Amino acid sequence: METEKVVIVGAGYSGLNAYYELGNHVVKTLIADKAQLVFYTAYLQKLMFNKNIKYTANIKPTITSKVKEIDLERKTVKIENGTEIQGHKLILAIGCKRERQLDIIGRIIGKDRVSISVENHLDEYLGIQLAFYLRKLNKEVSYYGPVLKWLGEKVSTKVLELLEKNGIRLSEKSDDIIPACDPNEIIGDFLATNDKLEYKNDVFVIGDMIKNYPKLGELAMREGIYVGRLISRKINESFKPIFINIIDTGKGEAIHIRSNVPWNGNFESVRVSKLRAIMKRFIERYYIIRKGKMGILYNL
């Protein structure tokens, strides 16, 4: 019997964790365009405060090459030199393009008066984090949006309280809109999945490629771990998404949010403490040291 071959395209948060989780009974191939992981939470710290902080980690993909073409029917990946790699199962973890986001954020940093909103409400956590960081830089900051109501009333109420406490007022419009990230041109769109993160039979989609999911690193890692375990036959249940994020107020405390409300659940938790701010700094360093592997933080 032929050994099962699994091809993973993309070595970001989700792709790496799928690769790490796959069992030894499969032949796994990890394809990435560079042998480097960028941890965007740490990168945002460097961008905002010009800190001497490490935000990349060297990784070891099986194949380091740009991808020219992906055939979802045949489950083949054509790389830059024309070689085709075929798998019995294909995991798409190619992320999304953040150039427009980063360009706008770079422009916003240079302004003294800022009114922030996001193009896609699922990116609100990023807009609110940016608002807190800009306030730390003594900018005049306002925010326009539902303030995470889609994560639950409890979450929204607490975040609104912290915005007001830190001098960030709500506005009726915004001049500084953070755009949504763009789909990777190889596929050209975000893809919807079933309850086991399959786009079609034996083609899995994880990370920022999933349609109508938050583009959140913590969630992407859980998706990668889930698919790795599913293919390795360690589990067979449906994926249970949960939104988990720590928003740093910039004033020595942070907001720890956990919610499954966006997926028709009724769980929401929001905690504010100095410990959460320390946790966020720890997380920024942990994933660099661990080369993106979620490990013990799965239980955070």
**CATH code of the region 5-43+55-98+182-231:** 3.50.50.60
CATH of 99-179+242-299, one of 3.40.50, 3.50.70, 3.50.50, 3.10.20: 3.50.50
What per-residue confidence (pLDDT) applies to 71? 97
Instruction: Supply 294's token pair.
Output: 């979620």
Cβ atoms within 10 A of the Cβ of 252, count? 10
Band of the pLDDT at 77, cuts 50, 70, 90? very high
Geometric angle at alpha carbon 257, from 256 and 258, rounded to 5°:
125
pLDDT in tens, 110-139: 999 999 999 999 999 999 999 999 999 999
Please report the pLDDT score of residue 172 as a whole number: 93
User: What value does the mean pLDDT of the chain take?
Assistant: 96
Domains 5-43+55-98+182-231 and 99-179+242-299 share a fold: yes
Please check the confidence at residue 1 and state whether its pLDDT lies above 70. Answer: no
Percent of the chain with pLDDT over 70: 99
Kindly list the domain boundaries of the chain, sorted by start residue.
5-43+55-98+182-231, 99-179+242-299
The mean pLDDT of 250-274, rounded to a whole number, is 97
Residues 117/127, Cβ–Cβ less than 8 Å: yes
Whole-model pTM: value is 0.95
Residue indicated by tokens 């789909």: 183
Average pLDDT over residues 50-60: 91
Share of the chain above pLDDT 90, in %: 92
The gap from C-alpha 292 to its chain's centroid, in whole angstroms, comes to: 12
